[in-house]
Amino acid sequence: MADDQTPMTTLILPFGAEAIARAGGLVGEGLPVAVPTETVYGLAADARDSAAVARIYAAKGRPGFNPLIVHVPSLAVAEKLGVFGEAERALAEAFWPGPLTLVVPRTHDCPVASIATAGLGTIAIRVPAHRAMRALLETTGAPLAAPSANASGRVSPTKADHVLASLDGRIALVIDDGPTRAGVESTIARVKDGAVEVLRPGPVTAEMLEEASGLPVGGIKGSEVVAPGMLASHYAPGKPVRLNAAAFEPDEFGIGFGGLAGDYPLSADGDAVEAAARLFDALHAGAASAKPKIAVAAIPDEGLGAAINDRLARAAV
């Protein structure tokens, strides 16, 4: 087993049988690997193996108390890890496989290491839709804890290059399957007191949750940190970010939307889905640019726009 502090060579393999076999072997040895999901690239390890999960935190340089999302192949497997009520089951059936994470109580014999859930009595679970993550779940037969594959506090990766930007030399393997589709992390929700609470907005919107569950949907109060990863400054690109720009200054890397193009137009047509898929790449480009500041055009708060603006507000702290 490699010392966690020793720099290692990070291998990049295109998605395919060889990459999945290599990744499965590494996960079996307790080493985390970066793998795309339909939202962002994740850094995956066997959630039952506390040393492997500790290596995720070490690679990310993440404060040790953030609970992780556990990925499983199906609702049937999810029900071995967490207790699903009627409403959670309806949501799982409506949106899995897909970009929804459900927070539920741990089962009594839940095999997931407590370090993966940060000692909480609850567990965040999702069934991903991406072929690479699904193949890795199948080949390992393990529940996979996987936070976004970036150093702690940095912008989430939507391309293999983004993973390397902060984790090169810190992880053994990145499976490259091109840019991710959704571009923002999964929606995190829990059912409480006859309502669905959105802990993190994402691709599955409040309207979609309401329709599938038949329950009212609300967000949590800003001061109540239920999802510790939702702390302000989680998405910092490392330079000042100005939001709702009507125009860009010469010293600003402009992230555009609709009629305001800038250096990196998110969507010339003002399409929130296209903008979400490109958002983190734009922030990475802004971070890498020679310009000392970043400015972002105003984005309407409807649908996926709410998730985009949530991430931008944190990037601007």
What span, in angstroms and rounded, lies between the C-alpha atoms of 87 and 214? 8
What span, in angstroms and rounded, lies between the C-alpha atoms of 211 and 207? 6
Contact in structure between 294 and 238 (CB atoms under 8 Å): no
Q: Which amino acid is at 256?
A: G
Residue 199 binding ligand TXA, by CB under 6 A:
yes
Residue 227 binding ligand TXA, by CB under 6 A:
yes
Q: Which of 255, 243, 245, 247 has the alpha carbon at shortest distance from 287?
A: 255
Residues within window 137-156 making contact with Mg ion, judged by CB under 5 A: 148
Residue 226 binding ligand TXA, by CB under 6 A:
yes
Nearer to Mg ion by C-beta: 87 or 171? Answer: 171
Does an H or E element contain 138, and which?
helix 131-140
Instruction: Return the residue of 176, 177, 185, 281 that touches ligand TXA, per CB under 6 A.
Output: 185
Residue 148 binding ligand TXA, by CB under 6 A:
yes
For residue 14, the partner it binds in ligand TXA, Mg ion, none, with Cβ less than 5 to 8 A by kind, is none
Neighbour tally for 11: CB within 10 Å: 15
What are the respective helix, strand and coil percentages of the chain, to the nearest 5? 30, 25, 45
Q: Could you tell me the two tokens for 181?
A: 């589709």
Contact in structure between 301 and 309 (CB atoms under 8 Å): yes
Supply the minimum distance, in Å, between the C-beta of residue 116 and ligand TXA.
9
Neighbour tally for 244: CB within 10 Å: 12
Residue 188 binding ligand TXA, by CB under 6 A:
yes
Supply the minimum distance, in Å, between the C-beta of residue 149 and Mg ion.
9
What span, in angstroms and rounded, lies between the C-alpha atoms of 120 and 212? 27
Supply the minimum distance, in Å, between the C-beta of residue 258 and ligand TXA.
26
Q: Could you tell me the two tokens for 55?
A: 């290596």
Supply the minimum distance, in Å, between the C-beta of residue 156 and ligand TXA.
7
Supply the minimum distance, in Å, between the C-beta of residue 126 and ligand TXA.
6
Nearer to ligand TXA by C-beta: 135 or 245? Answer: 135
For residue 186, the partner it binds in Mg ion, ligand TXA, none, with Cβ less than 5 to 8 A by kind, is ligand TXA
Per-residue binding letters, 46-75, with ligand TXA (x by CB under 6 A): --------------------xxxx------
Neighbour tally for 288: CB within 10 Å: 12
Q: How many helical (H) and strand (E) elements, i.e. helices and strands, does the chain have?
A: 9, 16
Residue 117 binding Mg ion, by CB under 5 A:
no
For residue 123, the partner it binds in Mg ion, ligand TXA, none, with Cβ less than 5 to 8 A by kind, is ligand TXA
Instruction: Return the residue of 228, 240, 292, 300 that touches ligand TXA, per CB under 6 A.
Output: 228
Nearer to ligand TXA by C-beta: 68 or 260? Answer: 68
What span, in angstroms and rounded, lies between the C-alpha atoms of 102 and 144? 15
Residue 37 binding Mg ion, by CB under 5 A:
no
Half-sphere exposure of 298 (CA within 13 A, CB side): 6
User: Which chain residues interact with ligand TXA by CB under 6 A?
Assistant: 37, 39-40, 42, 66-69, 101, 103, 117, 120, 122-124, 146-148, 185-186, 188, 199-200, 226-230
User: Which chain residues interact with Mg ion by CB under 5 A?
Assistant: 148
